[in-house]
Structure 1
Amino acid sequence: MTKCVSTQCLADFLEDANCRTRELLLDLDDNQLMGPKLPIVNPILWEVGHVAWFYDQFILRMLYRKEPTLKDGDKLYDSIDIEHYDRWDLPLLSTPDVLDYIDTIRQKLIDRLGPISGSNMASEQDSFIYQFAVFHEDMHTEAYLHSRKTLEYPSPNLHTSKPLINSELQNEKLRGDVEIPGGTFLLGSQPDSPFFFDNEKWAHNVPSYPFKMARLPVTNKDFSEFVADNGYNRRDLWHDLGWNWRNRAEAEHPTYWVADGKNQWLEKSFDNHIELVPNKPVSHVNWFEASAYCNWANRRLPTELEWEIAATSEPTDGGEKFSISKRQFPWGDTTNTIGKSNLDARTTDTVDVNMYSAGDSPWGLRQMIGNIWEWTASNFEPYPGFRPDSYKEYSQPVFGTRKVLRGGSWATRSRMIKNTFRNFYTPERRDVIAGFRTCAPFDWT
C-alpha cells in the first residue's frame, strides 16, 4: 500500500496543511470567501469545509466507523453529490465555525494515532490514508491560489515565502535539446515506492522511441513571438476542438497577459500588474494553446512516457541507453527540494527558467519538478490492471476526459510531488499554473 511513516510525521503534515489553509483564508472577507459563480473555481469557504469533511469521511467514518463530526456534513460538503453551481447556495458554516470544524477533526485524527513521536510508526493503512487526505488538502490549497489569482485577490502572505538562496540564484543558461535513446521503460510506480496514487499503479514495461526534448520550458519570450506572428488567429495551427475553444474564448494571448499600450506586455499577478519577464516560463496557458504553439514552432508536446523517462532515468553505455533504475526526483532520491526546485509557494510566482541547476536531471533537463506544471500530449488513461483506491472518485470517473500534466508548480507541496505523479485537467483550463516544454518532431528515418 505505502511505506509506514511515524506518527510524528503524520501529525506534522496535518498541522502544516492546516496552517497553509488558514494563511490562504483568514485575510479574505466574507464576500471574497464566496466569490462569483464561475465554472473554474469553488467558493473558498465551501472548499475548506469540504476538506474537513473529507478527513472525517475517509478516515474517521469509513475506516474507523465513527459518527459524523458534523450532522449535515454530507449535504453541505460532499463534492460527488453536490453540483458545482449549487455550492454557492448552501447554508455553509461561517468562517469561525468551519475552522472549528476542521480543528475538531484534526485533533480526533491526531488523538487516534496514539503516542506522537518519530519512533512510533503508524500502521501501513494509516500511513497511506492520512497522507492521502493531507495531499488532498494540499491540492485544495493549490486550488485556493488558482482562485485568488483568477479573482484578482491580493497575493497571500505565507510563512514558506522566503528570499531565494545563492544556489537558487545561479543562472547557468541552457539552450537546445537533449537526445534520449529508445528502449523499454518501466512507466509508473512500483510497490516499494514511498507513496503512490491509484493512477500510478502499477509500473509496466512500455517501448519508447528515441526522442529529443528541450532542456528548458517554453518562455514568455518564446511565446510572445508566437503571439506576435498572429498565432492565435491562424486556423492551420489549431486542433478542431482548440479552434472552437479559441473562438468561444476570443483568446488572442495568454489569459493573464495585458498589453501596456507601448508594444510591451504586462502580466496580471494576483491584484497587481507586473512587467512580463522574458525568461520566466509561459504559464496559465491551456493544452490547446500549447499545442498551437508547437505546431507554429514545428515542435510537439512530449508524451508522459517521454517526460518520465527524461525525469527519472540516467544515461548508461555512454548515453546509448537509459537506466532501468528510476529516481524519485530528477536530482536523485533526496526529498530536500530547497535549492533544487521552486515548490511550496516559496516565491508565490514563477522564476527564471535557468535557475535551480542543482535540480537538473542526469540528462541535463532543468526544472522538471516545480515552477510550472507541464502539459503532455497524453490523455489521462488507466495503467494496465488499474484498481481504484478507497477514494474511488479520484481518478476513475475522469479517465479519457483529461490531459496529463507532470512536474508540479511553485504552488505544489514538495511532500506530494515526485517524478511519477500524474496531474490531470481538461484541455481548456487556463487558471492552472501550467506551461510546457517541447520535443523535436519524430524522426522516422
Structure 2
Amino acid sequence: MRAGLLFVLGLMLALPAAAADYVALPGGTFTSVLPADGKAAPAQVAPFRLRTELVTNGEFLAFVKKHPEWRRDKVASILADARYLTQWGSADALGDTALPRQPVTRVSWFAAQAYCESENARLPSWYEWEYAAAADATRRDARADPAWRESILGWYARPSNSALPDVGGIANVYGVRDINGLVWEWVDDFNALMVASDSRDQGDPDLLKFCGAGAISLQEKENYAVLMRIAMLSALKAANTTNNMGFRCAKSE
C-alpha cells in the first residue's frame, strides 16, 4: 500500500502545473479616474482576458526554477532591488513564512512582466485593471455605491506587516478574485500614470504612448482607493519591490 501511494505521488509531482485560468472581459467605454484626453473623455477598453487569481509564491517559485536568471541571487541589479523575494527562505525555496498559495510580493515590474511572458501573456494596462476592479460580485461597475467604496478603503487600514491570506477570495462578476483588498498590483504602464507640469511643457510626443500619460486632471475623486493606487504606482521605479506589491497577467483577445 505504501509503495503504491508513493508511486502515485511521484506521478503527481511529475505532472506539469495546471494552466492558469483566464476569464474574458468584454471591454467597452469606461469612465476612468484618468480621462483619456486629460479632461473628461472616457477610456476605451478593448476586450481582453485577465488572470482570475494573483500569481502565487508557489507559481513564481516554479518560474524561477525554470528561469534561474530570475532567482534573487542571480537577478541583475538593474532588474530588481535588494529586497527582491527576500521573504523566501532561500533563492530556490519558500521556507516557513512564504506559503505556496499566498500572492507573491517583493517582485519588480521587470520580474512580473517576465513571468507573464512565460504564460504567453502580459501585465494588464491601467485601464484594463481599473475596469476589472470596478466590479463587485453582481455589478460590472459598483463605484457609485458608497458602501462598496468604504469596504475597499477598509483594506488600507490593515497593517501592511501582517501575513497575507491565500489567494482565492470571492469572485467579482467577471470571475476575477482578490483584485481589491489583498495586495497592490503592477500594471504595464505604471510609469505613465501621472504627468508633472514640467514634463507636459516639453512637448514630448512619447508622453501620449501610454493610457494615463496625457492626464492632467483626475476624475472620480470620491474613489479615493483607486487614486491611492495611482499615487503608489506613480512613485515606483520598475526595479522596485514592496511588501505588498503583487501582480496578475492579462491577454489581448
Range class of TM-score, shorter chain: 0.5 to 0.7
Task: Indicate if the aligned counterparts of 2:57 and 2:94 stay in contact, CA closer than 8 A.
Answer: no
4+ residue stretches of structure 1 with deviation over 4 A? 248-251, 313-316
- For these two proteins, the number of residue pairs brought into alignment is 209
Cα offset, 1:351, TM superposition: 1.2
The alignment status of 1:368 with 2:179, answered yes or no, reads: yes
Provide closer, same or farther for how the CA distance between residues 419 and 363 of structure 1 changes in structure 2, counting only shifts above 3 A: farther
Question: What does residue 88 of structure 2 align with?
Answer: 257
CA offsets, 1:376-422, max 9 Å, x none?
01143368xx8x7xxx79x99xx96xx99xxxxxxxxxx94137841
Cα offset, 1:181, TM superposition: 1.1
The alignment status of 1:351 with 2:173, answered yes or no, reads: no
TM-score (norm 1): 0.39
Question: What does residue 418 of structure 1 align with?
Answer: 226
- 1:225 maps to which of 54, 62, 65: 62
Gaps of 5+ in 2: 1-19, 212-222
Cα offset, 1:433, TM superposition: 2.1
Provide closer, same or farther for how the CA distance between residues 341 and 212 of structure 1 changes in structure 2, counting only shifts above 3 A: farther
Provide closer, same or farther for how the CA distance between residues 230 and 341 of structure 1 changes in structure 2, counting only shifts above 3 A: farther
Give the whole-Å Cα distance in 2 for the aligned partners of 1:375 and 1:202: 25
For residues 15-414 of structure 1, what are the structure 2 equivalents within 5 Å? 176-188=21-33, 202-232=39-69, 245-246=78-79, 254-259=85-90, 264-266=93-95, 274-313=96-135, 326-328=141-143, 332-334=145-147, 335-337=149-151, 342-346=155-159, 348-355=162-169, 357=170, 360-381=171-192
Task: Indicate if the aligned counterparts of 2:105 and 2:245 stay in contact, CA closer than 8 A.
Answer: yes
- Paired residue type of 1:438: C
Question: What does residue 438 of structure 1 align with?
Answer: 249
Provide closer, same or farther for how the CA distance between residues 233 and 352 of structure 1 changes in structure 2, counting only shifts above 3 A: closer
Provide closer, same or farther for how the CA distance between residues 354 and 380 of structure 1 changes in structure 2, counting only shifts above 3 A: same
Task: Indicate if the aligned counterparts of 2:126 and 2:188 stay in contact, CA closer than 8 A.
Answer: yes
Cα offset, 1:182, TM superposition: 3.1
Gaps of 5+ in 1: 1-174, 191-198, 235-241, 267-273, 317-321, 405-414
- What SS is found at the alignment partner of 1:377? coil
RMSD: 4.3
- What SS is found at the alignment partner of 1:310? helix
Task: Indicate if the aligned counterparts of 1:189 and 1:420 stay in contact, CA closer than 8 A.
Answer: no
Give the whole-Å Cα distance in 2 for the aligned partners of 1:265 and 1:315: 32
Give the whole-Å Cα distance in 2 for the aligned partners of 1:178 and 1:419: 26
Task: Indicate if the aligned counterparts of 1:327 and 1:419 stay in contact, CA closer than 8 A.
Answer: no
Give the structure with higher Rg (CA). Answer: 1
CA offsets, 1:29-83, max 9 Å, x none?
xxxxxxxxxxxxxxxxxxxxxxxxxxxxxxxxxxxxxxxxxxxxxxxxxxxxxxx
Higher fraction of helix: 1
Cα offset, 1:426, TM superposition: 0.8
Cα offset, 1:259, TM superposition: 1.9
- What SS is found at the alignment partner of 1:306? helix
CA offsets, 1:296-323, max 9 Å, x none?
222210001111111115899xxxxx96
The alignment status of 1:428 with 2:249, answered yes or no, reads: no
Provide closer, same or farther for how the CA distance between residues 203 and 224 of structure 1 changes in structure 2, counting only shifts above 3 A: farther
Task: Indicate if the aligned counterparts of 1:369 and 1:419 stay in contact, CA closer than 8 A.
Answer: no
- Paired residue type of 1:245: I
- Paired residue type of 1:176: D
Give the whole-Å Cα distance in 2 for the aligned partners of 1:362 and 1:287: 28
Task: Indicate if the aligned counterparts of 2:61 and 2:93 stay in contact, CA closer than 8 A.
Answer: no
Cα offset, 1:203, TM superposition: 4.3
Q: Percent identity?
A: 24
CA offsets, 1:237-267, max 9 Å, x none?
xxxxx96724x8699x72332329xx7322x
